[in-house]
Structure 1
Amino acid sequence: MQNEDIVAAIETKLTAVGVQDVVEPEEVRPAAFLSKDRKAIIDLEEELQKSLDTLKTDERLPRLLFGLANLHLKEANFSRAIVLYEVTLGMSSRQVNAWLNMGTAYLLAGEAKDAVSCFSSALAIEPDNARGLTKLATAQLEMNDLESCLSSLERALEIDSTLLKAMVVKGRYFAKKGDLTGATTWFNKALRIDPMFLPALTELGQIYVSNGRYDSAAEVLDRALRIDPEHPYALALLGDTFFARRDYEKALSFYDRALNVKFDDPHLWIKKADSHRMLRSYKEAVAAYEKAINANPENAEAWSKCGQVLVLSNEVPAALEYFNTALALFPDSADTAHQRGLVYYSLGKLEEALADFDLAFSSEPGNPVHLYYRGLVLEKLNRKPEAKRTWQIAASLYREAGDSTKAAECSARMKRMS
């Protein structure tokens, strides 16, 4: 195919698959099914890659690469999208939407600092771009830069007082500060303008779930699903609602529906695995945790939780390997260190258990459970003075936590060793 024909063919296929100039985060979903036109773009893009040097003077190329980048972003192929945005911006650096979409790609890939840089580049071209200011505020919120976030939002709403996305991000800002009333106010403000605005519905549902208002959450999330039956965030939140109510079978049904849309989301796989664990279907739980690990091999939570289920399945050597990996990824995890300490304790490896309970307590010094087991290990090692001092501190922490039963048990163990 001639070079000029490649450009024209890709333009036609991009139009056919419906690529837009603006890609919003809620539109980003992995492609579970490729249409005939989308499959054709795969081959055409390979041909284009080979012909890029000879096409550099083609005025259509920056726009074409921008369209391809948007397609990859919408399909959650962030690395490929970012490469294409960088190439097209290298050819024409004043493409505001390219900067904004590349920032969105970085943000969804967990690189908020790079996202801020992209959004700032867009705003250097169009300082009064309210949408750009809102995206910048979103990235600043992810970085916990609340002061800058608020400043960006106030500027965005000054430019466009009816910008729904800015209202939702302002609600998220208040939620981050722990002001759930303020958050709810801003989400409802957006919904008064557009009762079908999905980001506001899902964020409001999240507030209700976290606040234990499960009936209100179900009502709001049902509204969201009537608008978009495959909205993964709404489906996952409904799963969380049923999980909190201990209806694990129902929770699984919603997590499965969410995974049909976002099959590469490790957090969804963990939620599914947690439900199987509560149902004591350990084989299925391990399989789901493994899916989470495959989706993100650096997810320490998935490694640790899989280790815990392997312990329940009496697969102790395998469990230790999972705990070791989890702690290599996240050395300060008190929960993982404690769980590995319990395994070592059950195996009679007391020095290793002691080291893990010490590690757990150093990461979580307000939790007396770590000291309780530290005392048990020291007692078995016949290190009585250290054990008594450990029981004493544990008893004090239990009393502060209002657990008089455990405090009394620690005191009894101290007296028994006197």
Structure 2
Amino acid sequence: MKVRPTLIGLLALGLSVGAARAQTQPAAPPAQTQTTPAVPAAPQTRPIPAANYVALGVFYYEQGKYDEAYVSFRAASELEPTNSNALLGLGRSQVKLRLYSAAIETLKKLIGVDSRNMSAYIALSQAYQQQYIGAGDRASVAGNLAEALRVLTDAETLAQAQTGTDRAVSLSKVWNERGYVYRLQGDGPQAIDAFKQASTLNPDNAIFLYNLGDMYYATGNLPVALDYLQQAVIADPRDPYNRAYYAKLLALSGNLTAARPEAAQAAKLAPTNAYAVGQYGVVSYLAKDTGTATAQLNAAVKLDPLRYPEFYYYLGRLNLDGGDLKSARENLTRAAALGSSTPEYAYYLGLSYERGAGAIAPDRVKARENYQRALKLNPNYKPAQDGLNRVGAS
């Protein structure tokens, strides 16, 4: 019978042979060798998963750090080019950074990858709208609003195929976006109808109630606007935007007693929110509390210097009231530049140039230019026409 050697046996045999050789052979003289320091092995790094970059991007996006969010989502999309969450976050971040063309391409790619992603259609519609809003030459993006509506038609088809609560929520988002587009097209009644459809489908959504209130105010129906904004505040009591806007409209309606605590509460809820802080300033101005108005409006434009021309406008009004024409011209110039479609801003800038005080001389040429600009924006704006009559039309 043949015996199969085991691994232990082979190891034992090798050791015994080695020992025998060591005993019978003379020892060799030690070689003169140069020792080389051992090089540590390079640590093996594990690649960061795309999901980690997506989570980081979401964190940055929610913090309003859109540059960092963009970098994170882009890294995720490079690791996984078909990752829906990465592409959606990248597209949204690009919109925030005003990279509109890139955002549109990113979101189109997402729809190609995931044609049933409702958020992708909504985000693409928003990208078209934002590109239209941000364009210096509207003629170059004249087709954007039609494209936004076309995308929303595709989204509605997708939503109709859903069932239950998902269907109602998705359809409400589609109608809400349509309301935004109709407003940009200047169709107030159709925008109101769209926002109503959204609110009917999702009646507890404070954003839809806010949009209805905002649209009714824009079309001159202040009482109904107040009703919807009050509902928005009830639906989401901790939202500073709803409460601040509600406070402003209360003040404009003449109910300053109710407006002031609402405005103060909005600013207290969000002390670093420029809109809430600024509207507290607006309400304080309307209530003739110049100290609070000045402090809150200055704080608001420091928090966000470029987003709210209204706050520069009210600062300019405060300056005019106080006879500080230099500051009035500075603040109203900013208001008119940032809010270039608002005739009131141009008119009050013209008024600041029409006036003179101390070392600040009147400038009838600039006054005339701004009155004409206000009339171009609104040919029926009587204060601007009266101003133009005072300084002369030529």
TM range (shorter): 0.5 to 0.7
Counterpart selection for 1:189 from 129, 154, 161? 154
Q: CA deviation at 1:392?
A: 3.3
Matches within 5 A, 1:8-47: none
Alignment counterpart, residue 312 of structure 1, candidates 286, 294, 303: 286
Match of 1:157 in 2: 111
Instruction: Determine the structure 1 residue equivalent to 2:227.
Output: 250
The one-letter code matched in structure 1 to 2:228 is A
- TM-score normalised by L of structure 2: 0.68
- Give the structure with higher Rg (CA): 2
Amino acid at match of 2:267: I
1:133/1:197 Cα in 2 relative to 1: closer, same or farther (>3 Å)?
farther
Q: Is the 8 A contact 2:315 2:331 kept in 1?
A: no
SS of the aligned residue for 1:177 comes to helix
* AA in 2 matched with 1:219: Q
Between the aligned partners of 1:339 and 1:304, the Cα distance in structure 2 is 9
The yes-or-no answer on 1:208 pairing with 2:179 is: yes
Secondary structure of the residue that 2:272 maps to in structure 1? coil
Provide the C-alpha distance between the structure 2 equivalents of 1:135 and 1:197, rounded to a whole number of angstroms.
24
Count of aligned residue pairs for this structure pair: 313
> For 2:385 and 2:227, how far apart are their aligned partners in 1?
40
Q: Hey, what does 2:327 align to over in structure 1?
A: 355
Give the C-alpha shift of residue 218 in structure 1.
0.3
Shift of 1:109: 2.0
Q: Does 1:217 align with 2:195?
A: yes
Contact 1:300 1:329 in 2 (8 A): yes
TM-score normalised per structure 1? 0.64
Q: In 2 relative to 1, CA 294–102 (structure 1 residues): closer, same or farther, beyond 3 Å? A: farther
The equivalent of 1:299 in structure 2 is 273
- Contact 1:344-1:353 at 8 Å conserved across structures: yes
Identity, % of aligned positions: 16
| Cα deviation 1:135-187 (Å, max 9, x = unaligned) | 22122122221222123223222223333222222222222233222212212
1:322 pairs with 278, 285, 296, which one?
A: 296
Q: Distance in 2 between matches of 1:296 and 1:276?
A: 20
Q: Distance in 2 between matches of 1:159 and 1:334?
A: 40
Q: Which residue of 2 aligns with 1:277?
A: 251
Three-state SS of the structure 2 residue aligned to 1:172 is: helix
The alignment status of 1:198 with 2:176, answered yes or no, reads no
Please tell me the residue identity of whatever aligns with 2:321: S
1:208 Cα deviation after fit: 1.6
SS of structure 2 residue aligned to 1:194: helix
- Structure 1 pair 381–232 and aligned structure 2 pair: CA distance change class (3 A): same
Structure 2 unmatched ranges of 5 or more = 1-44, 133-143, 161-166
The correspondence of residues 69-84 of structure 1 with structure 2, limited to 5 A, is none
In structure 2, distance between residues paired with 1:133 and 1:274:
38
The residue that corresponds to 2:315 in the other structure is 340
- Alpha carbons of structure 1 residues 118 and 232: separation in structure 2 relative to 1, 3 Å: farther
Which one-letter code corresponds to 2:253 in the other structure? L
1:104 touches 1:115 (CA, 8 Å); kept in 2? yes
Structure 1 residues 334 and 107: CA distance shift in structure 2, 3 A: closer
Question: Compared with structure 1, are the counterparts of its residues 160 and 271 closer, same or farther at alpha carbon in structure 2 (3 Å cutoff)?
Answer: same
Equivalent residue runs for 1:16-165 within 5 Å: 94-165=48-119
Q: CA deviation at 1:319?
A: 2.1
The amino acid of 1:285's aligned partner reads A
Q: Unmatched 5+ residue regions in structure 1?
A: 1-90
> Partner residue of 2:376?
400
Contact 2:244–2:276, Cα closer than 8 Å, also in 1:
yes
What is the aligned partner in structure 1 of residue 262 from structure 2? 288
Check whether the contact 1:293–1:303 (CA below 8 A) recurs between aligned residues.
Answer: yes
Kindly provide the amino acid, as one letter, of the partner of residue 318 in structure 2: V
Q: Structure 1 CA distance, aligned partners of 2:363 and 2:280? A: 32
Instruction: Give distance in 2, aligned partners of 1:388 and 1:186.
Output: 49
Corresponding position: 1:373 with 2:351: yes
Query: Which amino acid in the other structure matches residue 112 of structure 2?
Result: E
- Deviation for aligned residue 1:311: 2.6
Displacement after TM superposition at 1:291 (Å): 3.1
Letter in 2 for 1:220: A
CA–CA distance in structure 2, aligned partners of residues 242 and 404 of structure 1: 21
For the residues of structure 2 that align with 1:93 and 1:274, how far apart are their CA atoms?
Answer: 52
Change in 2 beyond 3 A, CA 1:299/1:309: same
